[in-house]
Amino acid sequence: MLFNSLDFAVFFPIVFVLYWLVAQNKIARNCLLLVASYVFYGWWDWRFLFLIFISSLIDFSIGQAIPKAQGGKKKKTLLLVSLVVNLGFLCYFKYANFFIETFVDSFRLFGKELEVSTLNIILPVGISFYTFQTLSYTIDIYRKQLEPTKDALSFFTFVAFFPQLVAGPIERASHLLPQFYKTYKFNYNQVKSGLLLMAFGLFKKMVVADRVSVLVNQVYNNPDAYYGYEIILATVLFAFQIYCDFSGYSDIAIGVGRTMGFDLMKNFRSPYLSKSITEFWRRWHISLSTWFRDYVYIPLGGSRDGKFKTYRNLFLVFLVSGLWHGAAMTFIIWGAIHGVIIVVEKALSKQRKTIAQKLGFQTNTVSRKLFYITITFSIVCIAWVFFRANSLKDAFTIIENGLKLQWSQVLNFYELGLNAQEFWTAFFAITILVIFEWTHQKISFTKQLAAQPIVFRWTVYLIIVFTLIIFGVYGDTAPKEFIYFQF
């Protein structure tokens, strides 16, 4: 079920009303949330519900068994079972065909053709997200950082919680699970704040991301036909498409949770205002980057064993991150680009300050900030080429054609899939978004709005609703899936 669909527009109000009718009864409330979550996920394909159920059952049982196990060896064996089952499901559904194709291609390099066919596998929606979420539970128990829960209902609901089930944020059991033990009272301001955040997420998705995707798809699906500024425009717009699409989902998920009293972690903090790639990853997909930090980077040794191993660990984390995003070489290269830049930034952190001083950039000046933001955004966009390209060949074609700049070339925006009205709607929507995120660093618009007279507030609410109705539906009226559903 899509957040931007009519199905969800009917589903959510029903769940919301029923939830607050039984909110004071923890068992009834969690039963409702679990059933609603399974309905929400089963709307795509009910057959994959068994994956979530089995994963929940195994990790709940292992969580109970680890503290009771005698000796470290038995505890490690139990943790290994959790890792093998969860990562086994993930590897089979997401990476089996990738490994088969890579195996065949490696033999082809030596002139041998293998008659091996790929498997007919459907990728379960959101498997990468809920797998990491449930794994954090057993790992934290093994590390003695979390006490296992005896409340099976709360645990199963935690794993399947529908607002963030499909595309995050990837929650930790230590943060989200205890929230299912509580009872909540209806809070008008909290509900209003959640609805506003949902509306902002829908604006990002329906007004910006879905609209610019038309232009991006036309260029990236035909890379041989476009050059120079056309490639650059499509790449920059893809940067906004994926940000608005993914952060829009996170905003809606957090907003839905907030309307029911739940506090989900913030997943994005204006990442395109970052002044370095290191800072970018502190602002982009925060739940994933912190997950890799705690469960991959630190176990590898983190920064404890000297510079070389620190750089190695950082690079490996980003390679794995690239592979997590998709079973293709394009994603691995995307991860490698970020890994290399992160290592370079860490190695040259002192020299960076020296260079800034020689260029005359004073600390915290607007010019210095804009310079670093521009450089960082440019690097991110170049890496996005590999993320978005349909194949490695297409990625190199796009980069090659993008370098063929001709000053005499006239860029006709309206020959790239969007007519004049749709193009300028996207342009103004992105401009509003950038201004909002820049100023929102110092000004809380939610608090500012709450302080205004009721007539003004409701005028703003109606403007938001009509903006979504008028500009959020166009062309093909079928709701478009969120990009991260494929990961």
Alpha carbons 63 and 173: distance in angstroms, whole number: 12
Residue of 175, 285, 325, 338 marked catalytic = 325
Apex CA 480: angle with CA 474 and CA 483, to 5°? 135
Q: Is the peptide bond before 169 cis (omega within 30 degrees of 0)?
A: yes
Q: Which residues contact 314 (CB under 8 A, 6 or more apart)?
A: 297, 339, 342, 343, 346
Task: Determine whether 285 is an active site residue.
Answer: no
Apex CA 146: angle with CA 125 and CA 37, to 5°? 30
Beta carbons within 10 angstroms of residue 181's beta carbon: 11
- Long-range pairs, 292-295, Cβ under 8 A, ≥24: 292/317, 292/320, 292/321, 293/317, 294/136, 295/135, 295/136, 295/139
Burial class of residue 247 (count of CB atoms within 10 Å of its CB; 0-12, 13-18, 19+) = buried
Alpha carbons 145 and 286: distance in angstroms, whole number: 21
In this structure, are residues 342 and 277 in contact, taking their beta carbons and an 8 Å threshold?
yes
Give the distance, in angstroms, between the CA of residue 152 and the centroid of all CA atoms in the same chain: 28
Q: Is the peptide bond before 178 cis (omega within 30 degrees of 0)?
A: no
3-state secondary structure of 153: helix
Supply 136's token pair: 């954090």
In this structure, are residues 321 and 333 in contact, taking their beta carbons and an 8 Å threshold?
no
* Secondary structure element (H or E) that encloses residue 458, with its range: helix 454-471
In this structure, are residues 207 and 433 in contact, taking their beta carbons and an 8 Å threshold?
no
297 φ/ψ angles, rounded to the nearest 5 degrees: -60, -50
In this structure, are residues 274 and 373 in contact, taking their beta carbons and an 8 Å threshold?
yes
DSSP per position, 334-379? HHHHHHHHHHHHHHTHHHHHHHHHHTT--TT-HHHHHHHHHHHHHH
Alpha carbons 311 and 304: distance in angstroms, whole number: 11
End-to-end Cα spacing for the chain: 16
Beta carbons within 10 angstroms of residue 371's beta carbon: 15
Residues known to be catalytic: 325
